[in-house]
C-alpha cells in the first residue's frame, strides 16, 4: 500500500485540499480530547507523586521534576497517542472502509485517480504533521495541569513548582518524546488506513476492521515505545 | 468500440470467466446479461481495469488496454465514465460537488465554468434544484441520475453501468434506461450495461451478450432474444410464467394470429 502512494498527483491543488482537510479532521478534531486528558493526566500525576514522596528530606520541587519528566517522556507521547489511535484510527479505518464497501474507491480508480496517493497519503502526512503538535500541546498542558492541581490541592506553591520544572532539565527528553510522537503518528495513520482500504464485505466488516486496526495500532505503539526506549535511552 | 477476446479470470481454483469474447459497439447500448454468479460483474470490472484478467485482450477502439502501462491507463480512464450499482456518490459532498469532482481533478476550468458544466449535465439528467443536497438526502433514482451526471461530466467515450436499475421501482427503472439510451445516442458513446432486468433488455438491448457460468452463451439484440432457441437463455428470460405467456403471445402475434381485439385466454389455448 505504501509503495503505491508515491506517484505524480493528478492535480496538486486537490491533494493539498485533501491534506488540509485531513489536518483539520485529525488535528482540530482531536483537540478537545487531547486538552482534557492532558490536563487531568498532569494533575493526577502531581497529586500521586506528592502522595508517594513522604520523606521530609526530598524537596517539594522534586514533584515538579517528576511530573515534567513523566509527562514529557511517557504520558504525552504514549498515552495521548494511544487515545488518538482510538479516536483517529477508528475514524480513518471506518472512513476508508465505507468508501471501499460503497464502491467510492472504485469510482475514483475508474476516474484515473491513484486512490492510495489521494486517500491514504494525505492522511498519513496530516497525522505526521498534526500529532506531534498535539503531543507538544499535551506536554505543555500536562505540566500546567500538574501546576494547577499542586496549587489547588495545596501540595506545593506555584513558585516552587516553576523552580522545580527548571531543575535538571534534559533537553534530550524532548527529542526522545518527539521521535516517539512521529513514530506513533505513522502507526496511528498507516495501520487503520491499511485495514480500511482493504476491507471486504459490508457494514459489519467495517466495524470489525476498525476495531482490529485500533487494537493492532495500540499494540504496535506499546511495542514501538519499548523498542525506542531501549534504543534511545540506553545510550543517551 | 470495445473488443475483448479470450478473457479468462479465476479467483483461486474458481474459474469465473472462461474464454469470453465479444464486441461492444459504438453508439449502442451493449448489455451483459446473465444470472447471478454468471461472471458479468467480473467481466465488466475486467473491462474497466478494476480486475486484471488472467489472459486475453481488451481493445478500446484500436488500443490494447491490457498492454497499457499505469500512466496510459490513467489517461484512458479519463475517457471512461461509470455508474455503479449503489451509485458510489461521495457521502461528504453535495450533489454539485460530486458532479464537479472530475472537473476539479482533471481540468483547469474556472469555478464558474465548472458550475455551468455541472448545471448542464444535471439538467440533462433532469435533476434540478438538488445541487446543494447530500446523497443521504435524495432518493435512489436521484442518486442514479447524479451518478450518471458525474459519469458524463467529462464527455467520456465509454460509459459503463453496473446494474443501473437495482433497487429502483419499474417506472423509475424505465426512466433511467431511457436516459442512458438517449445519452448514448446523443454523445455517440460506447455504453456497456450489466443487468439482469428483463425490462431493460427489451427496452434498450441493442447488442446483448448473455453469460452462462463464466462463458459467452448467446449474443444478439432485443428483437432476436425473444425468438432465441437457446434453452439456457430462454430459461433465464422466461423464468416467470407471466413472461412465458407473454412470449407465447409474441410468437402468435408474429405468426399473425392475433387480432387487435385480443383475448388472452383464447390465444393461449
Q: Do B77 and A10 touch (CB under 8 A)?
A: no
Mean pLDDT of chain A: 93
Q: Do A14 and B84 touch (CB under 8 A)?
A: no
Return d(Cα B225, Cα B235) in angstroms, integer: 12
Alpha carbon B163 to its chain centroid, in Å, reads 6
Looking at residue B230, its pLDDT comes to 86
Q: Are residues B246 and B159 in the same domain?
A: no
Q: Do B90 and A98 touch (CB under 8 A)?
A: no
Q: Are residues B220 and B245 in the same domain?
A: no
B213 in contact with A, Cβ within 8 Å: no
Of residues A10 and A81, more confidently modeled: A81
Q: Is the pLDDT of residue A215 over 80?
A: yes
Residues 130-149 of A with CB under 8 A from B: none
Q: Cell numbers at residue A230, please?
A: 531501549
B80 in contact with A, Cβ within 8 Å: yes
Q: Are residues B15 and B82 in the same domain?
A: yes
Among the partner residues A10, A104, A110, nearest to B90 by beta-carbon distance: A104
Q: Are residues B12 and B90 in the same domain?
A: yes
Looking at residue B252, its pLDDT comes to 66
Confidence label for B22 from pLDDT (cuts 50, 70 and 90): very high
Nearest CA in chain B to A114: B74
Q: Are residues B7 and B93 in the same domain?
A: yes
B106 in contact with A, Cβ within 8 Å: yes
A12 in contact with B, Cβ within 8 Å: no
Q: Is the pLDDT of residue A47 over 90?
A: yes
Looking at residue B242, its pLDDT comes to 65
Confidence label for B47 from pLDDT (cuts 50, 70 and 90): very high
A202 in contact with B, Cβ within 8 Å: no
What percent of chain B has a predicted confidence (pLDDT) above 70?
Answer: 90
Q: Do B73 and A104 touch (CB under 8 A)?
A: no
Nearest CA in chain A to B93: A104
Q: What is the DSSP string of chain A?
A: --GGG-S--S-HHHHHHHHHHHHIIIIITTHHHHHHHHHHHHHHHHHHHHHH---TTS-THHHHHHHHHHIIIIIIIIIHHHHHIIIIIHHHHHHHHHHHHTTHHHHHHHTT--HIIIIIHHHHHHHHHHHHHHHHHHHHHHHHHHHHHHHHTTSS-HHHHHHHHHTT--HHHHHHHHHHHHHHHHHHHHHHHHHHHT--SSHHHHHHHHHHHHHHHHHHHHHHHHHHHHHHHH--
Looking at residue B173, its pLDDT comes to 86
Q: Is the pLDDT of residue B162 over 70?
A: yes
Q: Which domain holds residue B128?
A: 2-229
Looking at residue B86, its pLDDT comes to 87
Question: Domain count of chain B?
Answer: 2
Return d(Cα B63, Cα B67) in angstroms, integer: 9
Q: Residues B152-157: what's their mean pLDDT?
A: 92
Q: Do B74 and A11 touch (CB under 8 A)?
A: no
B113 in contact with A, Cβ within 8 Å: no
Q: Which of B45, B46, B88, B102 to mutate to test the interface with A (most CBs of A within 10 A)?
A: B88
Mind listing the pLDDT tens digit for each residue in B54-64?
A: 999 999 998 89
Q: Are residues B13 and B103 in the same domain?
A: yes
- Count A/B contacts: CB-CB distance under 8 Å: 54
Q: Are residues B139 and B105 in the same domain?
A: yes
Q: Is the pLDDT of residue B126 over 90?
A: no
Among the partner residues B75, B76, B105, nearest to A14 by beta-carbon distance: B105
Looking at residue A58, its pLDDT comes to 86
B222 in contact with A, Cβ within 8 Å: no
Q: Do B84 and A103 touch (CB under 8 A)?
A: yes
Q: Residues B50-56: what's their mean pLDDT?
A: 92
Nearest CA in chain A to B90: A104
Q: Are residues B261 and B134 in the same domain?
A: no
Looking at residue B210, its pLDDT comes to 93
A14 in contact with B, Cβ within 8 Å: yes
Q: Are residues B120 and B248 in the same domain?
A: no
For residue B67, what is the domain's CATH number?
3.40.50.300
ipTM of the prediction: 0.82
Shortest distance between the Cα of B76 and any Cα of chain A, in A, equals: 8
Return d(Cα B43, Cα B86) in angstroms, integer: 18
What are residue A9's phi and psi, to 5 degrees? -60, 140
Q: Are residues B136 and B245 in the same domain?
A: no
Q: Are residues B73 and B147 in the same domain?
A: yes
B73 in contact with A, Cβ within 8 Å: yes
Mind listing the pLDDT tens digit for each residue in B130-147?
A: 899 999 999 988 999 999
Quote the pTM value.
0.85
Nearest CA in chain B to A109: B50
Shortest distance between the Cα of B245 and any Cα of chain A, in A, equals: 39
Nearest CA in chain B to A16: B105
Looking at residue A60, its pLDDT comes to 86
Q: Residues A205-232: what's their mean pLDDT?
A: 95
Q: Is the pLDDT of residue B188 over 80?
A: yes
Shortest distance between the Cα of B146 and any Cα of chain A, in A, equals: 13
Q: Which residues from A are below 8 Å from B101, CB to CB?
A: 111
Looking at residue B234, its pLDDT comes to 85
Mind listing the pLDDT tens digit for each residue in B95-125?
A: 999 999 999 999 989 999 999 999 999 998 8
Q: Are residues B259 and B195 in the same domain?
A: no
A111 in contact with B, Cβ within 8 Å: yes
Amino acid at each position: 500500500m505504501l509503495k503505491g502512494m508515491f506517484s505524480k498527483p493528478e492535480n496538486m491543488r486537490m491533494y493539498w485540499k485533501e491534506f488540509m482537510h485531513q489536518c483539520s479532521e485529525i488535528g482540530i478534531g482531536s483537540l478537545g480530547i487531547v486538552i482534557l486528558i492532558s490536563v487531568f493526566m498532569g494533575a493526577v500525576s502531581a497529586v500521586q507523586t506528592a502522595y508517594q514522596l513522604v520523606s521530609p528530606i526530598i524537596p517539594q520541587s522534586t514533584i515538579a521534576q517528576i511530573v515534567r519528566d513523566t509527562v514529557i517522556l511517557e504520558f504525552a507521547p504514549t498515552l495521548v497517542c494511544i487515545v488518538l489511535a482510538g479516536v483517529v484510527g477508528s475514524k480513518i479505518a471506518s472512513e476508508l472502509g465505507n468508501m471501499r464497501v460503497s464502491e467510492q474507491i472504485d469510482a475514483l480508480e475508474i476516474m484515473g485517480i491513484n486512490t492510495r496517493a489521494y486517500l491514504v497519503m494525505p492522511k498519513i502526512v496530516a497525522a505526521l504533521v498534526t500529532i506531534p503538535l498535539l503531543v507538544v500541546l499535551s506536554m505543555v498542558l500536562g505540566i500546567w495541569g500538574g501546576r494547577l492541581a499542586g496549587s489547588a490541592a495545596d501540595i506545593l506553591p506555584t513558585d516552587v513548582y516553576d523552580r522545580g520544572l527548571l531543575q535538571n532539565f534534559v533537553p534530550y527528553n524532548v527529542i526522545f518524546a518527539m521521535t516517539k510522537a512521529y513514530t506513533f503518528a505513522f502507526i496511528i495513520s498507516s495501520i487503520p488506513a491499511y485495514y480500511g482500504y482493504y476491507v471486504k464485505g459490508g457494514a459489519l466488516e467495517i466495524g470489525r476492521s476498525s476495531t482490529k486496526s485500533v487494537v493492532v495500532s495500540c499494540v504496535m505503539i506499546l511495542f514501538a515505545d519499548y523498542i525506542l526506549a531501549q534504543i534511545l535511552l540506553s545510550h543517551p | 468500440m470495445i473488443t475483448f477476446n479470450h478473457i479468462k479470470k479465476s479467483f483461486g481454483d474458481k474459474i469465473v470467466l472462461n474464454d469470453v469474447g465479444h464486441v461492444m459497439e459504438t453508439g449502442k447500448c451493449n448489455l451483459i446479461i446473465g444470472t447471478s454468479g454468471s461472471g458479468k460483474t467480473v467481466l465488466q470490472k475486467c473491462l474497466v481495469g478494476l480486475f486484471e484478467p488472467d489472459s486475453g485482450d481488451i481493445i478500446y477502439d484500436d488500443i490494447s488496454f491490457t498492454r497499457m502501462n499505469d500512466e496510459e491507463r490513467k489517461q484512458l480512464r479519463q475517457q471512461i465514465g461509470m455508474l455503479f450499482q449503489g451509485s458510489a456518490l461521495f457521502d461528504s459532498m453535495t450533489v454539485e460537488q460530486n458532479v464537479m469532482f472530475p472537473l476539479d481533478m482533471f481540468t483547469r476550468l474556472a469555478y464558474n465554468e465548472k458550475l455551468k458544466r455541472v448545471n448542464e449535465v444535471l439538467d440533462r439528467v433532469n435533476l434540478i434544484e438538488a445541487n446543494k443536497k447530500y446523497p443521504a438526502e435524495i432518493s435512489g433514482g436521484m442518486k442514479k441520475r447524479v451518478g450518471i451526471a458525474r459519469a458524463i461530466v467529462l464527455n467520456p467515450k465509454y460509459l459503463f453501468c453496473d446494474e443501473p436499475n437495482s433497487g429502483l421501482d419499474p417506472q423509475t427503472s424505465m426512466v433511467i434506461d431511457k436516459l442512458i439510451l438517449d445519452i448514448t445516442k446523443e454523445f455517440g458513446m460506447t455504453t456497456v450495461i450489466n443487468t439482469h432486468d428483463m425490462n431493460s433488455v427489451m427496452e434498450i438491448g441493442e447488442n446483448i451478450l448473455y453469460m452462462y457460468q463464466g462463458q459467452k452463451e448467446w449474443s444478439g439484440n432485443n428483437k432476436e432474444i425473444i425468438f432465441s432457441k437457446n434453452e439456457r437463455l430462454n430459461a433465464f428470460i422466461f423464468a416467470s410464467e407471466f413472461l412465458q405467456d407473454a412470449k407465447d403471445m409474441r410468437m402468435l402475434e408474429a405468426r399473425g394470429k392475433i387480432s387487435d381485439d385480443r383475448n388472452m385466454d383464447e390465444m393461449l389455448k
